[in-house]
Amino acid sequence: MKIYSVITGASQGFGKAMALEFAKRKMNLVLIALPNSGLKDVSEFIQQHFAVEVRYLELDLSLVESCYSISKYIKKHQLQIKYLVNNAGVLSRGLFSSLDEQFILRQIDVNVTTPTLLVRLLLGNLKTNAPSGILNISSMASFFALPTKQVYGGTKAYLTSFSKSLAKELKQDNVSVTAICPGGLNTTTRLCYQNRLLGWVSRKSVLNPEDAAVIAVQSLLRRKEVVIPGFINNCLMVLDKILPEFIKDKLANREIKKLPVSIP
């Protein structure tokens, strides 16, 4: 019986790196990403070079019906799902007062509604194939109050909290839930440039997606619950607990001022 891992946002960046990491471990894949995002090429490359079966669906995950399309496809083809990776997400874009209302709603739909609904729709399948696991890609932004990342941070805080609660609930079903909370990732040319503008400590906290993918997949397979990848990021989490609020605000604002207002 073939089993599959479902990965959303798999055509580039962190999602693509995780798809390759799963493929290296000889796991069959169901990859999902936006139309015209290069998903077909990624899927064909993986299938040709790693001797695994790859199915792919080009869908807009800001639409609720896309989640139901994924569920229907899996049921129609009687695919057995071992792992679900909720990676698709919409990043921050600027000051709240300047954000377009439709962008805000789309960010919430992709970052909150979609992973929640996909877990619910695929949970029965995951339970059938237990021991199985869910990997939710959260962010260090879920732990901090950062200007220009207000909606993004809020959605990731939800995802971290959701994952922690769900992990306790599903333990009896032998379905693990892992939330990985990376800091900056060099996933696009523009983000690489923006990350270079950060201070020394913040630059050192940035990871390449390939390195973060190894940590993420290992954490899923080891059934860890909340993971902060990178030594510097873990140090920042400790500092956050001991530094006074006014110092944290000063440090955060200094880093924010170095960034362009708009982040794609």
Question: Sign of dihedral through CA atoms 142, 188, 55, 66?
Answer: positive
The pLDDT, as a whole number, for residue 78 is 97
Q: Residue 139's pLDDT is what?
A: 93
Q: What is the pLDDT of residue 244?
A: 72
pLDDT of res. 189? 42
Positive or negative torsion for Cα 122, 124, 130, 134 = positive
Is 94 inside any structural domain? yes
> What are the tokens at 21?
């990491």
Is residue 78, in this structure, part of any structural domain at all? yes
* Residue numbers in the chain where pLDDT is lower than 50: 186-201, 203, 261-264
The Cα 102–Cα 89 span in angstroms is: 15
pLDDT of residue 144: 81
- CA dist 86 and 118 (Å) reads 8
Helical segments of the chain, H only: 13-24, 39-50, 64-76, 101-108, 114-128, 150-170, 189-196, 200-205, 209-221, 231-242, 245-257
List phi, psi (to 5°) of 214.
-60, -45
What pLDDT shows up at residue 248?
A: 59
262 is a domain residue: no
Cα 20 to chain center, whole Å? 15
Give pLDDT, residue 89.
Answer: 95
Longest dimension (CA), the chain: 57
pLDDT digits (tens, 9 = 90+) for 57-105: 999 999 999 999 999 999 999 999 999 999 999 998 788 999 999 999 9
Is 263 domain-assigned? Answer: no
**Does residue 264 sit within a domain?**
no
Residues serving a catalytic function are 152, 156
Domain total in the chain: 1
Q: What pLDDT sits at residue 222?
A: 97
Average pLDDT, the chain: 87
Structural domain contains residue 60: yes
Query: Residue 248: which of 174, 143, 104 has the closest Cα?
Result: 143
Number of alpha carbons in the 13 Å side-chain half-sphere of residue 238? 6
Can you give the pTM of this predicted structure? Answer: 0.86
What local confidence, expressed as pLDDT, does residue 141 receive? 86
CATH of the domain at 28: 3.40.50.720
Of the chain, the end-to-end C-alpha distance in Å amounts to 41
- Note whether residue 178 is domain-resident: yes
Residue 43, domain extent: 3-257
**8 contacts 15 by C-beta, under 8 angstroms:** yes
Contact 153, 144 (CB under 8 A): yes
